[in-house]
Amino acid sequence: MFYREAGDFKTSYSADNQTFPIKFDRVGYIVVMLIAFLVIPFIINDYWANAIFLPFLIYAIAALGLNILVGYCGQVSLGTGGFMAVGAYACYKLMTSFPDINIFFHVIIAGGITGLVCVVFGLPSLRIKGFYLAVATLAAQFFLVWLFNRVAWFYNYSASGQINAPERTVFGIEVTGPNTEAWATYLFCLVFLVASALIARNLTRGMAGRKWMAIRDMDIAAEIIGVNPLKAKISAFAVSGFFVGISGALFFSVYLGAVEVGEAFGINKSFLVLFMIIIGGLGSIFGSFAGAAFLVLLPVVLKVVGVDMLGWPTDIVAHLQLVIVGGLIIMFLILEPHGLAQLWRVTKQKLRLWPFPH
Amino acid sequence: MPEQLAFAIEVFLNGLMSGVLYALVALGFVLIYKASGIFNFAQGVMALFAAMTLVGIQNGQVPFSHLINAALGTQIHHFGWHIHSVLAITLTVGVMILLAWAIQRFVFRHLVGQEPIILFMATIGLAYFLEGFADLMWGSEIKKLDVCLMADACLPQGINLAIDEITFGWFGYGFFIDNLDITATIVAAILVVALVAFSQYTKQGRAMRAVADDHQAALSVGISLNFIWVLVWSVAGFVALVAGIMWGAKSGVQFSLSLIALKALPVLMLGGFTSIPGAIVGGLIIGVGEKLFEFWVGPLVGGATENWFAYVLALLFLVFRPQGLFGEKIIERV
């Protein structure tokens, strides 16, 4: 009914190329933004923030970053956990070394540092492809985690080997440390997510994104039509590392507050983010959000149903969760390789024609 | 002979032994990769699953007992019998064949013709699934694995005293070498010989090699691809069982067993994904390399270098020789 292009006249090139070509989508986008910025901060409490909203916002940023690398540029990385750790430790060192500078800039600089590290570990991608590269990025995962575990300078020689986020404020409101309010941390992460999504969307539909996709689809053909594989791959690693680093910094400073690197940024984190983009949809911005939401909500739902309603022991529910996640990955790869995003696209296509079949 | 050198030799020998265990896991990878082009990330979890099944069958555990107890409120745990190791191993092989069939039937038959990286990601999903499944089936606590052929002929544990004495007589320094490592080396050698004999001299083995060479040609001369793939996964399951027994007897059957798969990856990159000798040589190089590196360089940089040494070595190696030591040159330059 309302989901139509009819009557929505495009009069300029930019209007024709906009992200949401249908008016219903544009309105929906604005409504979602208004709810996210003006409604949720007033009703959010600690449980909702810590169990659902903060993990979702932070993982969505990581998924955006990994999706640029895997979904758009076709370079599979299993080092996400290690790169998130780089972001977290960079942010920690900056927070403790320059306490006068706003944490907002610390997070962004931490992202930049992670981008550089990511480029270094992305260099082998110039010679190897596919799962050879995936295995090579595992080297980054294990080496980085070991580095932050063993070199005391990174954790400021603290006795426990942990890093703890000191209290920092934005506009006089605490966003890190033990005394934060739920709405403040939520808004802080939300700002980063919205900015990341805007940047990612505009990068991927512009020249950079088209180069990445050309490399992904067929690298030799891409090189022949004038795409420099070196620049394209390295830039994908850099941009991906930037987002992953930001998410790592937020994960440590805002969400957890105290981090032990092997536990928080282990290999499982790499797989988790990879699963998010497989389930959500490779090569889709919306897919990054959908996948992150799905895999953040799944354990919560399973816990509510299994532990609270059925009264099962937590370890059985945890094992069941592994089975379900693994099964879902296989199912999505078989039935819908483009993930939730493709299901959404199909739904939209159906909606445009509804109530007619063709 | 100076003490330091003797100690280094001991480290070297121990590295060789642990390298054999890495090679055992890597073998399973190579088998599947050669025959179906699937890089099976779940190999380590298969080893875990096989070892857990063996322990469970041996001790007469009721499968899914935790789940049943939670759902129905019953209190069942064991059937109350104890099965002889040989029979239990035979039954476990049966389970692994069943698993191979299920994997082929429900996962990879639907993914024929997909890109290798999609298959790889599917095996990561499979690894998660199997891990949760194994835990649900047999419980996740650490289990002790005793494999005994007869009442008093179990897998040997502890340090080999004979070697200790002999080397003490020779060098004035007794080498500490684990009995289990020696057994593992012998078993691995037998396994490799058996695998080579199987693939060279039996009909099924030849068919397997034919499929590895060229799917379509093999299909056109009447080899059933489905059967061969189930066969290959079964053989890989069997190799996983052997690796699971060895690692399980060494350090108990527990979750960390599945992480040996991660150790096997650099072994493969070093040796080449398509070469059985490569898997063995690569395993030995990694095993020796990480032990010696830990011995000499480890103390300088804070220790625990074993976690990443293999990967960084393999990464450096990849940059200069992408196909590994013995692999076929298949990677195109970009």
Write out pLDDT tens, residues A165-182: 787 878 877 777 777 788
Write out pLDDT tens, residues B240-281: 888 888 888 777 777 777 777 777 788 888 887 777 788 888
Question: Minimal Cα–Cα distance from A178 to chain B, Å?
Answer: 32
Task: Give A-chain residues touching B48 at CB under 8 angstroms.
Answer: none
Mean pLDDT of A38-48: 84
Task: Give A-chain residues touching B311 at CB under 8 angstroms.
Answer: 136, 138-139, 142-143
Question: Minimal Cα–Cα distance from B72 to chain A, Å?
Answer: 10
Write out pLDDT tens, residues B163-174: 666 766 666 666
Instruction: Please list the residues that pair with A173 across neighbouring strands.
Output: A170
- Please say whether the dihedral angle defined by the alpha carbons of residues A272, A273, A278 and A281, taken in this order, is positive or negative: positive
Among the partner-chain residues A149, A219, A333, the one whose CB lies closest to the CB of B111 is: A333
> How wide is the angle at C-alpha B105 spanned by C-alphas B101 and B107, nearest 5°?
110
The answer, yes or no, to whether residue A264 has pLDDT greater than 90, is: no
Q: How far apart are CA A134 and CA A138, in angstroms?
A: 7
The answer, yes or no, to whether residue A60 has pLDDT greater than 90, is: yes
User: Considering chain B, what is the average pLDDT of its residues?
Assistant: 79
The answer, yes or no, to whether residue B120 has pLDDT greater than 50, is: yes
Structure tokens at A48: 């909702």
ipTM of this model? 0.83
pLDDT of residue B31: 79
Residue pair B99/B43 in contact by the 8 Å Cβ criterion? no
Among the partner-chain residues B66, B262, B315, the one whose CB lies closest to the CB of A124 is: B315
Q: How far apart are CA B118 and CA B251, in angstroms?
A: 33
Task: Give B-chain residues touching A142 at CB under 8 angstroms.
Answer: 307-308, 311
Mean pLDDT of A284-308: 87
Mean pLDDT of B40-64: 84
DSSP-assigned states of every residue in B121-143: HHHHHHHHHHHHHHHHHH-SS-B
Mean pLDDT of A74-87: 90
The answer to whether the Cβ–Cβ distance between A319 and B140 falls below 8 Å is yes
Structure tokens at A73: 């540029």
Between B252 and A239, the more confident residue is A239
Sequence-distant (6+) residues with CB within 8 A of A163 are: A88, A89, A92, A154, A155, A156, A252, A258, A259
Question: Minimal Cα–Cα distance from B319 to chain A, Å?
Answer: 6
Mean pLDDT of A211-219: 89
The answer, yes or no, to whether residue B332 has pLDDT greater than 60, is: no
Task: Give B-chain residues touching A146 at CB under 8 angstroms.
Answer: 304-305, 307-308
DSSP-assigned states of every residue in B245-304: HHHHHHH-BSGGGGGHHHHHHHHHHHH-TT-HHHHHHHHHHHHHHHHHHHHHTHHHHTS-
For chain B, list the domains and their CATH numbers: 3-320 (1.10.3470)
Task: Give A-chain residues touching B110 at CB under 8 angstroms.
Answer: 334
For residue A178, which of A50, A52, A55, A296 has the smallest C-alpha distance? A50
Q: Which helix (H) or strand (E) holds B149?
A: strand B148-150
Inter-CA distances, A31 with A22, A25, A34, A292, Å: 14, 10, 5, 21
Minimum mean pLDDT among A50-64, A199-213, B314-328: which range?
A: B314-328
**DSSP classification of residue A21:** -
Q: How far apart are CA B24 and CA B160, in angstroms?
A: 22
Confidence of residue B315 (pLDDT cuts 50, 70, 90): confident
Angle at which helices A314-335 and A285-302 pack, to 10 degrees?
150
pLDDT of residue A196: 93
* C-beta atoms surrounding B272 within 10 Å: 24
Residue pair A192/A176 in contact by the 8 Å Cβ criterion? no
The answer, yes or no, to whether residue B175 has pLDDT greater than 80, is: no
Inter-CA distances, B95 with A145, A201, B110, B135, B241, Å: 37, 48, 22, 16, 11
pLDDT of residue B334: 44
Structure tokens at B103: 């994997």
Confidence of residue B333 (pLDDT cuts 50, 70, 90): very low
Mean pLDDT of A200-215: 91
Confidence of residue B159 (pLDDT cuts 50, 70, 90): low
Q: Which residues of B310-334 are buried (b: 16+ CB within 10 A; e: fewer)?
A: bbbbbbebbeeebbbbbbeeebeeb
Mean pLDDT of A26-37: 88
Minimum mean pLDDT among A87-101, A238-252, B32-46: which range?
A: B32-46
